Structure 1
Amino acid sequence: MCTSLAARSAGPLFGRNLDLGYSFGEQVVITPRRYPFPFRLREPLPQHYALIGMATVANNYPLYAEAMNEKGLYMAGLNFPGNAYYPPAEDGDTQAVTPYELIPLILGRCADLAQARQILEGLRLAAIPFAPGYPLAPLHWHIADASGCLVMEATRDGIHLYEDPAGVLTNNPPYPLQLANLNNYMHLSARSPENRFAPGLDLHTVGQGMGAIGLPGDWSPQSRFVRACFLKENALWGDAPEEAVGEFFHILDGVAMVRGSVITPEGKPDITTYSCCIDASTGIYYYKTYGNNQISAVHLHGADLEGEQLSCFPLIAGQQICHVNAES
């Protein structure tokens, strides 16, 4: 389970919570412009835009969960079980891509959302796993830049591209149903409610926040979608870039999973393994992990972007605490 956000009025900023009960060897990875991206069916990309994001590196290949390129285009894959469908590869289809190649292809070639849309509209996916032991993940994708947001879903009836005015994506159900469900919450407000129930009765608020009574508080994908939209739409971003980044993480905290609050069918706790925020104006990738609340930052432009080798930054997973004073 995951939640992805695009805050285009602040920064713009993009990022997500990755909710999972285990680590997948994730680390922040910068792919420089001359790292050769091979593809299973298409011609390789020997040169491309530089990328930064969270990935597992296997056989020297970055398997990105989410990333942004140097032009400010963001893309994230989120779990979409029961709905995602990838058709078998067809002989001689030199234009299809595998799901794990989608982020490198789009972010490597496209400078903006308009270019990404052109490729995605004619795209074909092929059900080819990365390697033995790496099963195909059932995903849908969030794509965004400063101009707008898209959701791409590959189901049995084909590939669908949806405009995402909310700038939010979680998991199931498919995106049109998520967006339609917001109509059920249009009466909620961050402000104190008025007495519309019985104007003749002396009814009054008994505390702050009552305008949002009815906002779902569970961790189901549909409830997280509603809650993330509410928090994002009512957030006050501040003036300094650091304030906006902090606000972004507060929104992600509002839909994060606490260990023990969600137990998987296998009997394991689901947690927010990490949260990230990428500043499109600076190329800085901010993150924090479940075990470390302190925000860490990796700078895209702090790496050799003309190189051919991946730059990998292991996560700072242990809790970092600033001790204001200490025992003498």
Structure 2
Amino acid sequence: MQTVLPATWAPIVAGLIAGLIAVVLITVVALVLRNMSHRLIGRVVQRASSDRPSLAGRLRGKEATPLDGLDAIVAERRRQRAETMGSVLKHIASIIILGTAALTILERLSVPIAPLLTSVGILGVAIGFGSQELVKDFIAGMFMLLEDQYGVGDVIDVGATVGAAATVGTVEAVTLRITRLRDADGRVWYVRNGTITRVGNESQGWSRATVDVPVAYTADIPAVRDLLKEVADELWKDAAFRDSVIVEEPQVWGIEQISDTAVVFRVSAKTIPSRQAEVGRELRVRVKSALDRAAIPIAA
């Protein structure tokens, strides 16, 4: 019996050792692949979110200068979008690599995986039916990030979402599932991405400040136009606004409306995103002072 027992157990022990070695090797290879994929994704994200000047900045000859206002905003949006997509890709890579390793280990241990895959498939279908809205939110959030529809700091109008009134506010956080907004009253809104059917972005690329100036119907039209042109030129020459806030020379569009009591002129200025209100207020102050000096009354 003493000579038979070792011969009987030897193949079992050898099989266990071989199986253990295989499990360890598969686990190590899976972890190495996961780490390599994460590093590769991290490098791609870092390259995509690097603070490089925009095309407009390079055409203006700003390669060696710090990012200006528009370039800084574009760089920040690019960084947020790249980091979010990088996080999603890392999770997907981990699920694929570790899931494949787990199935390989089970097969190496002679565990039948066909019934397991069938059960997982049925469970996945059941979960899919129960989480359709969640999947819809994630897919909508992914396309929103890829298309750069809006980012943190943007002022957006998401319209009338499903089951809620129209919401306008500043974006405070963006995830694949929800967008967090803060409106003018300080109220925080959590909007599911899947419920957003349209988005109006007031902060993307550039904004426009428009100021309507109503003067008396009997006012001297050429004189008022020249006066408003002087105000626009003074604002454009102001170093505190030119280039850093206002990106193009303000324009006097002329007469916008005519009534029996007033003639309405419109002044317009293109600004960097989200600064149109500031420029509009400054224009109103300067227009009011200029009209007072010229003794031109503002119509009711």
Q: Which bin holds the TM-score, normalised by the shorter protein?
A: under 0.3
Q: What TM-score, normalized by structure 1, do the two folds share?
A: 0.20
Q: What TM-score, normalized by structure 2, do the two folds share?
A: 0.22
Greater strand proportion: 1
In our comparison, the structure showing a higher alpha carbon Rg is: 2
Greater helix proportion: 2
- Of structures 1 and 2, the one scoring higher in RCO (CA 8 A, sep 6+) is 1
